[in-house]
Each structure stands twice: as C-alpha cells, then as structure tokens.
C-alpha cells in the first residue's frame, strides 16, 4: 500500500478527503491527517509516506514550506497541492517543488480525485520498477568491480599475466577506484582462523560476511585513507597500507587493527588473526609480501587466534612423521572403545605436543589422521561423522578431535541402546573395553549377577551367536585392524587381543578369516 498523509486546516475538507473514496481499493492507505503544518511534518517524520496532500495557506508552516521540509525527510515524496487560490505565483512555486498535481478545491470531485491517484500510483510503480532495475545494475557493477579488483591483486600476487608496466597497472587500478602505493608500503593479511569450523558457528553467508567485514574495516579506519582493501578469498582479506603510521607500525596503527579484531569477534563470533609484512617499495614484490604473511601464520598456532604478528620468532622442532610416533598407541586406545581412555590419551597427546613445540604443519597432519582413524572405525559401526578439519590453531585441532570422539561415543551408545537390553549392553561394553583379557561366559554372568545358563541363552538370543564365538569374532576384528594399520608385531597383537599364545592366535585367526595374520598384513 502507498502511504498518504493529508494536511489541511479546513476540518470539513480534511474529513471529506479521507472519506470521499475507498483509498485501499486503489492501492493507497491514509496513515494520518493533520490540521496544521507542524503536526503534518511530525506525521511525515514518523511514517515517511510516499504521498503528501496539503493545503497551501495554513497557520504556522504553510503548505509550500511544508513540502520543502518534507522533501528533505523523504526525497522522493510526491506532493499534491489543494488550494482555494488561483494565484499564478503559487502555481510557479508548486512547479518548482515538483508537485504532482495542483488542484483548486472548488473543482475537486470524486472522479477527479480517483483519476489523480490512479495516475500517481502508476507513476510511483514505474519509478519503483526503474529504481529496482538501477539497483540491480549497480549491484552487478559492484560485484564485477570487486571481481576485477580481486583479479588485479591475485594476478600481482601470483605473478600471473602481469605486464610489469607500472603505468598500465596504475591506470587499470584507477579505473576501478583502486589506490596503489607509489612508495613504501606493507601488506597486511586478515585471516579468519579455522574457517570451515568458524563459519558454521557464525551462521552467516559467505557473501554477507565478506561485505560486512569490508564495511567494518572502512568504518574503523575512516580517519586513514592510505590503504586499499581486497578480498583475496573467503577466509583471507588483504590490505595494502602506506604512509608513515602504517609503515612504522606505530601504536595508533596497531590500535586500529585491534579494534577491527574486536568488532568482528563481537559481531560474528569469529576470531581473526592479523599478519603484517616487512616494508616493500616495489608493487611487483607484493607476491613476496603475501608469502611472508602466509608464513607468519605458524607464529600463533599454539597461542591461538586474535593475535597481530609482525615478524617470525619461533623455531620449530621437526619430525619426519609425527603420526607414526603415536599411531600404535592411538589405535590400541581406539580399539578399547572406551571414551574415557580415548579422551585421556587425547589430553596427554596435546600436552606432549605443546611442550615439544613441533612444527605446526606436522601437527595438523597428525590430528587430521587421528580424525580419519575415528571416522574409519565409526563407519564400520554405521556411525556417521561429518566434521570439518580446517585447522589453523592447536586449540582447533584439539576441539575438532574431541568433537569427533563425542559423536563417535554417542553413536556407539545409541547402537547399544537401540538393539540390546540393559544386561547385554553392559556385557558388550565390557568386552569391547577389555579384549586383552581372558573373558569367559562364567565371568560375565557373575559380572551382571545372572545365572550362567540363562545368560548364555539370553546372549545368543539377542546377539545371534554364542558368547564364545562373539568374543573370538571381536578379538579377530581388533587384531585385523592392528595388522592393517599399526606397526605392532604379530606377537604384540596376539597379547593385546587376549590370546594366551601366538600359536593359538594363528590357528584362531586362520579358522575365522581363512587367512594367516601374515597374509593380511602384506595385503
């Protein structure tokens, strides 16, 4: 509905205008009426109508002055002037104010009013459609402009299709309103850490986040125009800074960066880290500045996000394959199916890694492999685990692993709850967590305080096989996993799965699988 305000000090005319036609029938709604200019202006401030119908001669603010003030509040407002005066001077002022109609009151009829507002509605609808098209074109131009801005930056960083003609580059940049430094500059990279995980928590679209991050950056730095902001990709923003404050990285410059971090964190619950390059003077060396910023990311791996890193300090401990160091112990703990043991191992592992100061790259690989191992086991139990693994900090590595462990543990419990009674669930859990022991039917019946004969029949009824066959099956499955994925010897695997001697293990394994342990390991 098109909103209308009517203003006239002639009360009869005011009431008559409102009631002479059914405004809603023609797509209008009268949202307010006033008997003087001051009250009318208050209504316009409050409701921001598309149309104002006003008399000219009124006490206080007259109709013409009212329209001038209304056009400041609502630039596209459509004025209709009703008057008793045939003054040419009034008519000229109405034209100046771009009034849509100038009507003498004594000539106004219902038919004239209807024709007038139908024409007015068509005009408003046409203008709205044009404005919508213009907005769409502007939006598309801005999108294309941002794409071209990104392309210039990425081509410079990647040294791709770049003709090292500074004049040509400058002209291309100028055409896109990109300011490039002509003297010393630094490159600052803004990183949304652990992006895949963080964006899921933030619950905001990538496009809206990119727009908001740039807008907030401009607001925080409104007193400094010596920079250019670029979207490198969804998780990385690049800012070229020049000028003394930036190049010297003084306190005011650092304070602005901290403000920006705080705004993003408070508005979107996202933690960003900032890395700044050394000073460069050649724009064609921006690829070196970018590489420097990327390498600085490792500096905050252990201390966590929300840092501003300016130079490389840490010296990391290398290790050819950190996963191989923990693999056997990890798999053994996993195959206990004990959440408590798995979590305890994770805590011990995390502390060891932090204290050892291992290089972040190999730590990320380690945690990724740990998560893959859990997903592999979960898949065998028909437990679905969907978890992002974009690690930029040690905290994210640990949190992602803990999340996967929790999903896995809940999944195991749900499988038990769904399929088995309380007593059998208790027995199955015990078997999973203690396969290295000698587990007998008598021992388990005592464990759940049940007659051995009854327990044996109940177990076979619920599980579909005898107790002894089930225990052997679980031991063989665990042994197979060890053989395929661990570096434990066959003797160590036999002991870990509760076989009294290696010979018995070989015979049992061959009987159940049709292969020897050695054949499975080779495969």
Q: Residue 486 maps to which CATH number? A: 1.10.10.60
Q: What contacts 302, CB < 8 A, 6 or more positions away? A: 354, 357, 360, 393, 394
Q: Which residue, 53, 82, 108, sits at the end of a domain?
A: 108
Q: What is the pLDDT of residue 144?
A: 60
DSSP state of 439: -
User: Would you say 109 and 83 are in contact if contact means Cβ atoms under 8 Å apart?
Assistant: no
291 and 187 in a single domain? The answer is yes
Q: What Rg value do the Cα atoms of the chain yield, rounded?
A: 38
Question: Is residue 114 included in any domain, yes or no?
Answer: no
pTM over the 0.85 mark: no
Bridge partners, 239 (sequence order): 188, 229
Q: What contacts 307, CB < 8 A, 6 or more positions away? A: 273, 274, 299, 300
441 and 465 in a single domain? The answer is yes
The parent domain of residue 484 ranges over: 322-522
Q: What is the pLDDT of residue 13?
A: 85
Question: Is residue 130 included in any domain, yes or no?
Answer: no
Instruction: Using alpha carbons, list the distances in angstroms from residue 122 to 1, 117, 125, 132, 258.
Output: 13, 9, 5, 15, 52
- Residue in the structure block whose two tokens are 């160590």: 492
Q: Residue 252 maps to which CATH number? A: 3.30.70.270
220 and 331 in a single domain? The answer is no
351 and 297 in a single domain? The answer is no
Q: What token pair was written down for 376?
A: 């592999």
Q: What contacts 9, CB < 8 A, 6 or more positions away? A: 35, 36, 55, 58, 59
Ranges under pLDDT 50 in the chain:
none
Q: Residue 48 maps to which CATH number? A: 3.40.50.2300
Cα–Cα distance measured from residue 277 to residue 224, given in angstroms and rounded to the nearest whole number: 19
Q: Crossing angle for the helix pair 37-47 and 63-73, nearest 10 degrees?
A: 20
Cα–Cα distance measured from residue 459 to residue 428, given in angstroms and rounded to the nearest whole number: 10
- Residue in the structure block whose two tokens are 């409102």: 18
246 and 348 in a single domain? The answer is no
User: Would you say 49 and 77 are in contact if contact means Cβ atoms under 8 Å apart?
Assistant: yes
Q: Which residue, 63, 92, 108, sits at the end of a domain?
A: 108
Q: Which residue, 58, 73, 108, sits at the end of a domain?
A: 108
Cα–Cα distance measured from residue 225 to residue 67, given in angstroms and rounded to the nearest whole number: 38
Bridge partners, 179 (sequence order): none
Cα–Cα distance measured from residue 262 to residue 479, given in angstroms and rounded to the nearest whole number: 52
DSSP state of 450: -
Query: Pairing mode, if any, of strands 28-34 and 272-276?
Result: unpaired
Q: What is the pLDDT of residue 252?
A: 84
274 and 232 in a single domain? The answer is yes
Given its phi and psi angles, is residue 98 left (phi above 0), alpha (psi -120 to 50 degrees) or beta?
Answer: left
Cα–Cα distance measured from residue 499 to residue 97, given in angstroms and rounded to the nearest whole number: 98
Question: Is residue 261 included in any domain, yes or no?
Answer: yes
Residue 484 main-chain phi, psi, to 5 deg: -80, -35
Number of structural domains (the chain) is 3
Q: Which of 265, 267, 351 is nearest to 305 (CA)?
A: 265
279 and 334 in a single domain? The answer is no
Cα–Cα distance measured from residue 46 to residue 28, given in angstroms and rounded to the nearest whole number: 18
DSSP string, 282-312: -GGGHHHHHHHHHHHGGGGTTT-SS-EE-S-
351 and 300 in a single domain? The answer is no
329 and 449 in a single domain? The answer is yes
Question: Is residue 339 included in any domain, yes or no?
Answer: yes
Q: What contacts 412, CB < 8 A, 6 or more positions away? A: 337, 381, 383
Question: Is residue 229 included in any domain, yes or no?
Answer: yes
305 and 337 in a single domain? The answer is no
Question: Is residue 438 included in any domain, yes or no?
Answer: yes
219 and 327 in a single domain? The answer is no
Instruction: Using alpha carbons, list the distances in angstroms from residue 82 to 103, 104, 106, 116.
Output: 5, 6, 10, 12
Question: Is residue 161 included in any domain, yes or no?
Answer: no
Cα–Cα distance measured from residue 188 to residue 337, given in angstroms and rounded to the nearest whole number: 46
214 and 73 in a single domain? The answer is no
Question: Is residue 134 included in any domain, yes or no?
Answer: no
């Amino acid at each position: 509905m098109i909103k209308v305000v009517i203003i006239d000090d002639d009360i009869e005319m005011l009431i008559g205008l409102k009631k002479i036609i059914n405004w809603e029938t023609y797509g209008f709604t009268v949202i307010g009426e006033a008997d003087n200019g001051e009250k009318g202006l208050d209504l316009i401030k409050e409701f921001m109508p598309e149309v104002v119908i006003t008399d000219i001669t009124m006490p206080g603010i007259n109709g013409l002055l009212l329209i001038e003030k209304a056009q400041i509040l609502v630039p596209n407002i459509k004025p209709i002037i009703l008057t008793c005066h045939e003054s040419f001077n009034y008519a000229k002022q109405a034209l100046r104010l771009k009034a849509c109609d100038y009507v003498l009151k004594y000539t106004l009829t219902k038919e004239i009013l209807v024709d007038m507002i139908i024409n007015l509605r068509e005009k408003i609808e046409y203008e709205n459609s044009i404005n919508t098209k213009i907005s769409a074109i502007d939006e598309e131009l801005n999108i294309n402009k941002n794409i071209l801005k990104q392309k210039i930056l990425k081509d410079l960083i990647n040294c791709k299709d770049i003709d090292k003609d500074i004049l040509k580059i400058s002209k291309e940049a100028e055409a896109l309103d990109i300011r490039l430094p002509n003297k010393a500059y630094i490159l600052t990279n803004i990183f949304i850490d652990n992006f895949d995980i963080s964006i899921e928590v933030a619950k905001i679209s990538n496009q809206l986040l990119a727009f908001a991050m740039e807008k907030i950056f401009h607001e925080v730095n409104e007193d400094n125009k010596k920079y250019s902001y670029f979207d490198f990709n969804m998780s990385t923003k690049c800012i070229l800074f020049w000028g003394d404050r930036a190049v010297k990285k003084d306190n005011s410059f650092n304070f602005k960066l901290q403000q920006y971090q705080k705004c993003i964190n408070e508005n979107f619950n996202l933690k960003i880290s900032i890395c700044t390059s050394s000073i460069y003077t050649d724009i064609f060396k921006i690829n070196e500045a970018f590489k420097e910023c990327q390498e600085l990311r490792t500096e905050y791996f252990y201390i966590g996000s929300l840092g501003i890193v300016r130079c490389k300090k840490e010296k990391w401990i290398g290790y050819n394959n950190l996963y191989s160091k923990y693999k056997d112990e990890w798999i053994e703990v996993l195959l206990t199916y004990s959440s408590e043991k798995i979590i305890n191992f994770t805590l011990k592992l995390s502390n060891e890694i932090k204290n050892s100061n291992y290089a972040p790259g190999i730590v990320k690989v380690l945690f990724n492999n740990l998560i893959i191992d859990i997903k592999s086991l979960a898949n065998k139990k028909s437990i679905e685990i969907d978890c992002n693994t974009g690690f930029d900090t040690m905290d994210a590595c640990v949190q992602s692993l803990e999340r996967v462990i929790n999903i896995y543990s809940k999944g195991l419990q749900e499988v038990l709850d769904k399929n088995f009674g309380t007593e059998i669930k208790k027995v199955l859990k015990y078997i999973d967590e203690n396969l290295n022991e000698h587990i007998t039917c008598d021992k388990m019946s005592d464990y759940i305080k049940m007659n051995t004969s009854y327990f044996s029949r109940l177990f076979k009824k619920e599980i579909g096989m005898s107790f002894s066959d089930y225990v052997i099956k679980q031991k063989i499955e665990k042994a197979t996993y060890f053989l395929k994925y661990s570096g434990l010897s066959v003797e160590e695997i036999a002991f870990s799965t509760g076989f009294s001697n290696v010979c018995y293990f070989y015979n049992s394994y061959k009987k159940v699988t049709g292969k020897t342990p050695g054949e499975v390991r080779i495969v």
